[in-house]
Every structure is written in structure tokens, then in C-alpha cells.
Structure 1
Amino acid sequence: MNTQDAFTYVRNYGRPDLFITMTCNPAWPEITTELMPGQNSTDRHDLTARVFKIKVQKLVALLTKGKIFGDVKCFMYSIEWQKRFASRALTAVVDGKLRPNQIDEVISAEIPNPETDRKLYDTVTKNMIHGPCGALNSSSPCMKEGKCTKNIQGRF
């Protein structure tokens, strides 16, 4: 039924302009501050799911009511659970389509400059970067107490 709904959206509104994914971060303060001593986020699936749902609703409101990419004609999403964390795929059809020459204004694939935006730099290097780690690179941003926090150690 969901596939048929998606086909109907495409037929009526055209192909999606945006495909956005969002993954639950178990280190979000909204999660970690509510944990009991000795607990981690995987012990509280209920809390993780609630916080994730709220964040997703905020993202949808930012796109639809905040109109950061323009008027949204329609959108749909699904949530898939990957091991311990939720991931969301959101597609949206925007009125006044994004053009190829506008993409660089919206998407950046660069590590931010730590001198001009320290907070963004810290966020990206803490959460988004992974490379050789473990014995190959013990100073990798993913390393904590000699172990890879992303559970990828030894896969390079």
C-alpha cells in the first residue's frame, strides 16, 4: 500500500526534489540526561524512540512550515530500524524546484573551518568522520579508551 501511495505522489506532484536521511544519535543530550547511572541508550529503547520521533517532527516542521527550501507540495517518509538506532528517509516535492546551480548553497561536503565555526567543526569531527582507526590510527576521532566508538575497528 505504501508503494502505491508513493507512485500516486509521483504521478500527481512529480519526482521528489529532496531525499533526506536522519539517524538517531544515542549521544543526544535529551537521551543521555534521562539515563540512570550505568545505563546506556540501548537499554532505553522507549526513550530513544520518543526523542527520535520529536526530532523527526521538528525536521518535518522545519521543511513544511519553515519553508527553508520553499513551499512543500507533498512529502512522505518511512522509518527503518537499523540494529539499535532508527533511521529515517524523507522525500519531499518542493514548489519552485531546486536547480543544479543551487545545490552548493544547500549541501556541503567539506569539513567546516574550526576558526570560523568551532561548534559545527566539533560536531562534524565528532559524529561524521570515520577513517582508519585502532592500531592503524589511535588518534582517530572515533577512538575512545582504545576502542572504536563506531564499532568499525579493524575493518580498514
Structure 2
Amino acid sequence: MFEKQRDAMAYARKYGCPDMFITVTTNFNWKEITDHLLEGQHPHDHPDLLVRVFCLKLKQTIKNGCLGSVDAWLYNIEFQKRNLPHAHILLWMSRDSKIHPCMIDAAVSAEIPDKNQDPELFTIVTSHMVHGPCGG
């Protein structure tokens, strides 16, 4: 962790403050995971598969340009209580991909879709993005 912190400080010296802080979490229902399970197996039976798919998707997310052009990135992978890997990512965006304050509301949304207007999206958001009480 100490080494990651020093890397982040070096990046900040060269690129300035990071433009984005993103958390990416494994979804054990990803097709790349479920397609490789034998009958009767569950994703938690294959932590190697979970981690491999997660790392591939993480690098694809950063490198494929879906977030824009990235000059530098730094991430740390941790494991949640359910043993699913997740990453905390700092991104330094290229000048043409920076999000300006006036664009935040268009780029970030934190609302649950209307169940009557879009039931499919409502189900997706409530099953993946809403957490119940922790513990126990």
C-alpha cells in the first residue's frame, strides 16, 4: 500500500490531481464467468476464474477508451467479504477527455429508474447497485 501511495504522489507531480476515482466490482453473473462453470458449480467455486475475468475486464475498461483517452492510471485490487475482487482506480485523463464541472450531472447519475417506465433497468439497478445491511 505504501508503494502505491508513493506511485500516486509521483503521478500527481507529473499529471496533476487525478480526474476520476472509480470503483469497479466483480459481477459473478458475468457471461464470461457463468459460461465456464460446469453443471452444479457456482462462481465462488472458482476464485481463479473470477479473478482472471475481473482483471481482463478491468484492463479493458481502462484501455478501450470507453471513459475517454487516459494519460495515466493507478489501481489497487481488494477482495470484499464475499471474496469478489474490486478495484479502486485513479485516472488522469487526456486534455480532450477531461470532464469539466458543468458536465458532472450528465456523466454521473445516482437515481433508481422508475419501475413502471423501465422495469428492466429498474431490476438491473436494484439487483446490482443497492446493498442491504452488512454484517452477519
Where structure 2 has 5 or more consecutive residues not aligned to the other structure, the ranges are none
For 1:17, the aligned partner's letter is D
What is the distance in 1 between the residues matched to 2:28 and 2:104?
Answer: 30
Where structure 1 has 5 or more consecutive residues not aligned to the other structure, the ranges are 133-151
What is the distance in 2 between the residues matched to 1:114 and 1:61?
Answer: 34
Q: CA deviation at 1:120?
A: 2.7
Q: CA deviation at 1:58?
A: 1.7
Percent identity, aligned pairs only, is: 38
**Residue in 2 aligned with 1:8?**
10
Root-mean-square deviation over aligned CA pairs: 2.3
**Residue in 1 aligned with 2:104?**
103
What is the distance in 2 between the residues matched to 1:82 and 1:126?
Answer: 17
Quick check: 119-128 or 45-54, which moved more? Answer: 119-128
**Residue in 2 aligned with 1:91?**
90
Q: Which has the higher contact order (CA 8 A, sep 6+)?
A: 2
- Count of residue pairs the alignment pairs up: 131
1:37 is aligned, of 29, 36, 39, to 39
Tell me the secondary structure at the aligned position of residue 57 of structure 2. Answer: helix
Structure 1 residues 131 and 89, CA gap change in structure 2 (3 angstroms): closer
Q: CA deviation at 1:118?
A: 4.3
Give every structure 1 segment of 4 or more consecutive aligned residues whose post-TM-superposition deviation is greater than 4 Å.
114-118
**Residue in 1 aligned with 2:70?**
72
After TM superposition, list the pairs within 5 Å mapping 1:51-70 onto structure 2.
51-62=53-64, 65-66=65-66, 68-69=67-68
Structure 1 residues 131 and 43, CA gap change in structure 2 (3 angstroms): closer
What is the distance in 2 between the residues matched to 1:95 and 1:125?
Answer: 33
What is the distance in 1 between the residues matched to 2:73 and 2:118?
Answer: 32
Q: CA deviation at 1:131?
A: 4.7
TM-score, normalized by length of structure 1? 0.72
What is the distance in 1 between the residues matched to 2:118 and 2:5?
Answer: 42
- Deviations 1:23-67 (CA, angstroms, capped at 9, x unpaired): 1111222212221222211110111111111211221123xx34x
What is the distance in 2 between the residues matched to 1:19 and 1:52?
Answer: 18
TM-score, normalized by length of structure 2? 0.81
Q: CA deviation at 1:14?
A: 0.6
**Residue in 2 aligned with 1:123?**
124
Higher helix share: 2
What is the distance in 2 between the residues matched to 1:113 and 1:80?
Answer: 33
